[in-house]
A and B are shown apart, each in its own frame.
Chain A
Amino acid sequence: GENVEQHPSTLSVQEGDSAVIKCTYSDSASNYFPWYKQELGKRPQLIIDIRSNVGEKKDQRIAVTLNKTAKHFSLHITETQPEDSAVYFCAATGSARQLTFGSGTQLTVLP
């Protein structure tokens, strides 16, 4: 089955700086890669996703890149703000539809 590795497990940045979180996946059949933000005690909230026919997608301060050959994808947050502080999970899925999640990154944006 699919295995998703996520790094780093914790990340602290100064407000206004950029944050990058990286994930690798094992199943070359995976074709959909969402990112979820989870605040303490709350639901995972979809923030951006990318499909395997696209190399990059951007939504305001958030962007995701995908390298199918290397089987890795990354989340980029620019101009970070304190409200960006949360746990971020990457995930991957293919024909099986079930999401396989990474282990999460605790992002702390320091004011």
Chain B
Amino acid sequence: EPEVTQTPSHQVTQMGQEVILRCVPISNHLYFYWYRQILGQKVEFLVSFYNNEISEKSEIFDDQFSVERPDGSNFTLKIRSTKLEDSAMYFCASSEWLYSNQPQHFGDGTRLSIL
């Protein structure tokens, strides 16, 4: 069964540094998402992306965050100047169709630790 893949599985970064989290969505999927989960808490929506542009974003997704689809397969989340509170598990997800809600399939996540 096709899966969403994410790299790296764990990223440790000094506060103030830039990080890029990478995702390869399922190949025939059209919608891509980033969510985050702070340890022990619920999953929170960050941003959705369709047709090479942001579709929706949450209040969490401020100017420090950006997303990009640099080629036909990768989907990246960049945090420009990391803060301690950015420490969380970041999940990428993708879904198939445009015109109705379809299941979102999650990757294994990247655990981001800010020191």
Contacts and interface: CB of A to CB of B under 8 A. Distances in A.
Interface stretch (B12-20, B42-50, B63-71, B74-82): B42-50
Contacts of A101: 42-44
B103 A49 contact: yes
Nearest to A46: B103
A9 B106 CA distance: 23
A25 interface: no
Contacts of B41: 103
Nearest to A33: B101
A34 B43 contact: no
Interface in A64-108: 89, 91, 93-94, 96-104
Contacts of A98: 33, 45, 48, 56, 58
B56 to A, nearest CB: 6
Contact of A43 (B58, B95, B101, B106): B106
Given A42-B108, A103-B42, A96 B103 contact: no
A99 B107 contact: no
A45 interface: yes
Interface in B74-114: 91, 95, 101, 103-109
B106 A45 contact: yes
B27 interface: no
Nearest to B45: A98
A43 B37 CA distance: 10
Given A97-B48, A99-B104, A103-B41, 10 more contacts: A43-B91, A89-B42, A89-B43, A94-B101, A97-B55, A97-B56, A98-B56, A99-B35, A102-B42, A103-B42
Interface of B: 31, 33, 35, 41-45, 48, 55-56, 58, 91, 95, 101, 103-109
25 contacts: A31-B101, A34-B103, A36-B43, A42-B108, A43-B107, A43-B109, A44-B91, A44-B106, A45-B106, A46-B104, A46-B105, A46-B106, A49-B103, A51-B101, A89-B43, A93-B101, A96-B56, A97-B31, A97-B55, A97-B56, A98-B33, A101-B42, A102-B42, A103-B41, A103-B42
